[in-house]
Amino acid sequence: FKVTRRVIETLAKHDFPMLVLTKSDLVTRDVDIYSSSIAVVGLTVTTIDDEVASRIEPNAPSPDYRIDALSKLSGAGVPTYARIDPIIPTVNDDEKMLEKLVKELIDAGVEHITVSTLKLVGDLDKLKILQPDEEKFQKIYRLYASSKPLYGYRYLPFMLRQHIVRKVRKIVLKYGASFASCRENLAYLNTGTCDGSHLFKKFGREIML
């Protein structure tokens, strides 16, 4: 019980930098520690659509809860970032939806956003859970089936990944946050680090992970 809190209390006591990434809004229970220590906190938010979110992350808190958690953290002075991950064609890659999500994240005080497309592991048929519409399912099935597994993962075609990443990058930079993609071989598009560790500069620290 409260093991996490005891751990971060110990880290804070010794001025040990903490880089936190979670999908749980319960992270706000420890905002008093994070706000008085060397901490950067991020949450994954894949969409603002509750129904879509329930397919991508069936056991995670709703997007609204997570965005509210980011707002509470940033309001307490904690540097915050968000991950839009995974992005899946026909599921949560709609440009208008992505812009609305980014705007809500920025309004919540997020300073950095990292994106990543779905790297599929295992049976291609699991895509049916993510996209129940048969026509759209067949589309993404073909996209992933056309790629050869790399270290056990199936990637989207590179040009499509580049298109998606550039699309979100344009939106993120428009709203003034830093941007990065993760495991896309597109690091030249980054204006921040994939893991948000560049935000430690606010504490006068340069930390490489």
For each of the chain's 209 residues, which pLDDT tens digit applies? 589 999 999 999 999 999 999 999 999 999 999 999 999 999 999 999 999 999 999 999 999 999 999 999 999 999 999 999 999 999 999 999 999 999 999 999 999 999 999 999 989 999 999 999 999 999 999 999 999 888 899 999 999 999 999 999 999 999 999 999 999 999 999 999 999 999 999 888 777 66
Give the residue from 102, 104, 119 showing the smallest Cα distance to 170.
Answer: 102
Amino acid 1: pLDDT: 58
Residue ranges covered by each domain of the chain: 3-203
Indicate the helix (H) or strand (E) that contains 164. helix 158-174
Q: Topology of 3-203 in CATH?
A: pyruvate-formate lyase- activating enzyme (3.80.30)
**pTM score, whole prediction:** 0.95
- Alpha-carbon dihedral of residues 160, 161, 166, 168, nearest 10 degrees? 110
Closest CA to 198 of 207, 190, 189: 207
Chain centroid to CA 103: 14
Give residue 196's pLDDT: 97
E-strand ranges in the chain read 18-22, 39-44, 80-87, 112-117, 178-181
Please classify residue 11 by burial: count the beta carbons closer than 10 Å to its beta carbon, then call 0-12 exposed, 13-18 middle and 19+ buried. Answer: middle
